[in-house]
């Protein structure tokens, strides 16, 4: 009996972590909809080679500024005025830092996303080969970008947005991930998202903006 329990337990823990991951994603998608006053269609870009973009440097910038504040009590760089309220929390709880470090170290690794999102959300998975059909030849001109987005919105109506999503890194109490979205050539932003678990429920703490279009 003991052997059976030992063998089942890792599977249970893995399954629970995945359940938490998609509960966190879904909670943030609802918050995104609420903040922007409407229901969006989330088309999540999936690839075996996630996020070889400038976003990694943005996350590293946030981490550096967190460390500078904790060590030197200085505010600079990635912190924007609407996120300064987080600084007092960092004085008391520095355990966000290793989570962000882990996110950075793993952000170039393959991250498999399944459509396990809450059924009340409009979520689609966009394979990279499909993404290329829309945007592969559109970067050479404003007209090309405009036509690419028009084609995208034909297939993903109802406020369709293109999403980059990292894995969720969690210690069971805190969780961080990267969320980037675009709705046009000059529309979108990317943020580091922080969640905290209280009474078995994940709550959004903040989104730290890293870039805007």
Domain positions in the chain: 2-212
User: CA-CA distance, 146 to 135, in Å (whole number)?
Assistant: 10
What is the model's pTM? 0.81
Burial of 169 (0-12, 13-18, 19+ CB in 10 A): buried
| CA proximity to 120, closest of 35, 207, 42, 19 | 42
CB 134, CB 154: distance < 8 Å: no
pLDDT digits (tens, 9 = 90+) for 171-207: 999 999 989 899 988 889 888 899 999 998 999 998 8
What are 40-61's pLDDT values in tens digits?
999 998 874 544 445 566 677 7
């Amino acid at each position: 009996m003991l052997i059976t329990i030992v063998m089942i337990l890792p599977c249970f823990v893995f399954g629970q972590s995945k359940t938490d991951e998609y509960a966190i994603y879904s909670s943030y998608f609802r918050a995104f909809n609420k903040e922007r006053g409407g229901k969006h269609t989330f088309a999540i870009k999936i690839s075996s080679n996630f996020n070889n973009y400038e976003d990694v440097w943005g996350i590293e910038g946030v981490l550096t500024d967190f460390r500078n504040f904790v060590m030197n009590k200085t505010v600079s760089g990635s912190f924007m005025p609407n996120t300064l309220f987080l600084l007092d929390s960092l004085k008391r709880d520095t355990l966000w830092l290793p989570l962000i470090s882990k996110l950075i170290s793993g952000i170039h690794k393959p991250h498999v996303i399944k459509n396990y999102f809450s059924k009340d959300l409009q979520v689609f998975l966009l394979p990279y080969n499909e993404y290329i059909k829309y945007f592969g030849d559109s970067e050479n001109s404003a007209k090309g970008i405009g036509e690419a987005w028009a084609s995208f919105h034909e297939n993903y109506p109802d406020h369709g947005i293109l999403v980059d999503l990292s894995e969720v890194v969690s210690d069971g109490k805190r969780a961080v991930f990267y969320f980037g979205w675009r709705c046009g050539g000059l529309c979108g932003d990317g943020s580091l998202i922080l969640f905290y678990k209280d009474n078995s429920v994940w709550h959004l703490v903040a989104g730290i903006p890293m870039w805007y279009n």
